[in-house]
């Protein structure tokens, strides 16, 4: 995590395969796209989409039919025949689009003004992992209600509450986004904490918020530990302390993670740390404190993803005017340099009157302030999000064979990104989670692992 006070917060790749005439005409083919699937007797859901957006191209197709079967998209097109026994959902007055991605959040962390004065260090003392796991379930439901169907959960989640959340959702116990969990943040001694000797060495307060690894052997073991229990990405603290990881040590993390099929994200808070991370060839960089024009040019050349966590000024108390001005400037610079920018929030705090999903969507204010066009913001919130999450071929795009995730809004997010503030419909894994603006999650709750006890 990065805050105004400077604190921040698969191995087992199981579970295979997510009258607005002013809209531009779509590049969608006129003939229906058909999935190469074996005929099935499973029930079919037919969705009538008034407008269907393809964020990758910034285009819209009118009057589309979307068929869903066995939790996946079966067919998409204007002339798809609706089977006589299909359940029909009429979204002909709405704009349908793929689900959103928050590329950096901490669902099992909720710090507050009272009693901890927004200090997550105190939160980790007050809130144990079981309570934080409950928070994670609640926050995940709130994120899904706001249209976020994928969340990269990047550590600071107690003792693996993020991985437990993913398993609970994948097994069918609770509703929620597809979680891409990092497990414990791997760091040099201390992580982001600055504890006194008793807390650091006697009470070992740094664990489990951070998994300290200072030698090559410890680094290898830390990566393997996270991979063993189900991490889908590895996160490291590049420069949380002056003795942060060197370029060679970051390369070691990347090599070891690659053995388990995992990519690496680096928490970076200095220009020097950013240089080491990009030189090492890291997958993604979290936060924008270490960003500048030179770093952005390297990131664009190497296609290193940027998860800048650009806190808006409208979330009072979580940034400053000076910090916000720099954030807006660097976000604009990243866009101008064609860096692969993701929509990321680090929205791990309680804002009275807002759900966690509403807090996350508030971050579009920073993107608007940076004068980034709405189609590019939407692309960051979808297409680039799928890329950094490594779900592009399984979940995200509305195409036959993909897991069936989509959302619907009344307005046109290609013209006004604020349309995403009013999500009326959410389909997750082919099941209706929200309809007519009201959550209907009953089908997602089950008394056991209906999708299999080994679903991870």
- Domain range list for the chain: 42-98+398-441, 100-395
Q: Tell me the pLDDT tens digit for each residue of 257-282.
A: 999 999 999 999 999 999 999 999 99
Q: What is the pLDDT of residue 23?
A: 37
Query: Mean pLDDT, to the nearest integer, of 416-421?
Result: 98
Q: Which fold has domain 42-98+398-441?
A: Urease, subunit C; domain 1 (2.30.40)
CA distance 407 to 156: 29
Q: What is the pLDDT of residue 53?
A: 98
Is it the case that residue 32 has pLDDT exceeding 90?
A: no
Query: Mean pLDDT, to the nearest integer, of 86-93?
Result: 98
Is it the case that residue 403 has pLDDT exceeding 70?
A: yes
Query: Mean pLDDT, to the nearest integer, of 195-219?
Result: 95
pLDDT band for position 40 (50/70/90)?
A: low
Q: Closest Cα to residue 178, out of 235, 232, 225?
A: 232
Query: Mean pLDDT, to the nearest integer, of 62-71?
Result: 98
Is it the case that residue 30 has pLDDT exceeding 50?
A: no
CATH code at 100-395:
3.20.20.140
Query: Mean pLDDT, to the nearest integer, of 88-115?
Result: 97
pLDDT band for position 456 (50/70/90)?
A: confident
What tokens does 153 get? Answer: 């959960």
Is it the case that residue 354 has pLDDT exceeding 90?
A: yes
Is it the case that residue 422 has pLDDT exceeding 70?
A: yes
Is it the case that residue 197 has pLDDT exceeding 70?
A: yes
Mean pLDDT over each residue of the chain, to the nearest integer: 92
Q: Looking at 135-283, which runs of residues are DSSP E strands?
A: 148-153, 178-181, 185-187, 210-212, 234-237, 264-267
Is it the case that residue 129 has pLDDT exceeding 90?
A: yes
Query: Mean pLDDT, to the nearest integer, of 209-231?
Result: 98
CA distance 265 to 299: 13
Q: Tell me the pLDDT tens digit for each residue of 373-386.
A: 999 999 999 999 99
Is it the case that residue 11 has pLDDT exceeding 60?
A: no
Strand partners, 426: 407, 434
Is it the case that residue 12 has pLDDT exceeding 90?
A: no
Query: How do strand 72-77 and strand 438-439 relate by DSSP bridges?
Result: unpaired
Cβ neighbours around 412 below 10 Å, total: 17
- Decide which of 194 and 100 is more confident: 100
Q: What is the pLDDT of residue 416?
A: 98
Answer whether 156's CB lies under 8 Å from 348's CB.
Answer: yes
Query: Mean pLDDT, to the nearest integer, of 186-200?
Result: 94
Q: Which residue has the tokens 């950094």?
A: 388
- Decide which of 455 and 142 is more confident: 142
């Amino acid at each position: 995590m990065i805050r105004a006070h400077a604190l921040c917060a698969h191995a087992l790749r199981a579970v295979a395969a997510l009258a607005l005439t002013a809209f531009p005409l779509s590049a969608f083919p006129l003939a229906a796209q058909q999935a190469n699937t074996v005929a099935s007797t499973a029930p079919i859901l037919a969705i009538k989409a008034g407008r269907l957006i393809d964020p990758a191209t910034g285009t819209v197709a009118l009057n589309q039919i979307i068929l869903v079967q066995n939790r996946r998209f079966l067919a998409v097109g204007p002339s798809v025949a609706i089977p006589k026994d299909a359940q029909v959902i009429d979204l002909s007055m709405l704009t349908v689009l793929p689900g959103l991605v928050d590329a950096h959040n901490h669902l099992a962390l909720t710090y507050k003004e009272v009693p901890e004065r927004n200090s997550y260090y105190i939160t980790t003392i007050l809130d144990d992992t079981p309570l934080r796991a409950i928070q994670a379930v609640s926050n995940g439901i709130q994120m899904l209600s706001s249209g976020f169907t994928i969340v990269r959960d990047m550590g600071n989640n107690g003792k693996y509450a993020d991985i437990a959340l993913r398993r609970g959702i994948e097994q069918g116990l609770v509703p929620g986004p597809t979680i891409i969990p990092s497990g414990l943040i791997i760091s040099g001694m201390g992580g982001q904490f600055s504890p006194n000797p008793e807390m650091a060495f006697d009470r070992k307060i740094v664990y489990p918020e951070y998994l300290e690894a200072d030698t090559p052997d410890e680094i290898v073991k830390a990566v393997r530990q996270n991979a063993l229990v189900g991490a889908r990405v590895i996160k490291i603290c590049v420069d949380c302390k002056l003795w942060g990881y060197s370029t060679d040590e970051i390369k070691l993390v990347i090599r070891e993670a690659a053995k388990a099929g995992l990519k690496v994200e680096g928490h970076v808070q200095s220009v020097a740390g950013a240089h080491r991370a990009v030189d090492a060839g890291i997958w993604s960089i979290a936060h924008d404190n270490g960003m500048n024009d030179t770093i952005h040019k390297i990131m664009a050349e190497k296609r290193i993803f940027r998860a800048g966590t650009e806190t808006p000024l409208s979330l009072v108390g979580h940034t400053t005017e000076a910090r916000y001005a720099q954030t807006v400037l660097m976000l604009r610079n990243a866009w101008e340099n064609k860096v692969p920018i993701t929509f990321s929030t680090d929205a791990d705090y309680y804002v009275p009157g807002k759900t966690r999903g509403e807090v996350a969507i508030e971050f579009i204010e920073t993107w608007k302030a940076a004068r980034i066009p709405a189609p590019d913001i939407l692309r960051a919130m979808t297409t680039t999000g799928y890329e950094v999450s490594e779900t592009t071929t399984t979940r995200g795009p509305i195409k036959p064979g993909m897991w069936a995730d989509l959302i619907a809004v009344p307005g046109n997010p290609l013209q006004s990104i604020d349309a995403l503030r009013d999500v009326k419909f959410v389909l997750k894994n082919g099941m209706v989670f929200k309809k007519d603006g009201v959550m209907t999650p009953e089908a997602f709750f089950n008394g056991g692992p209906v999708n299999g006890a080994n679903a991870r």
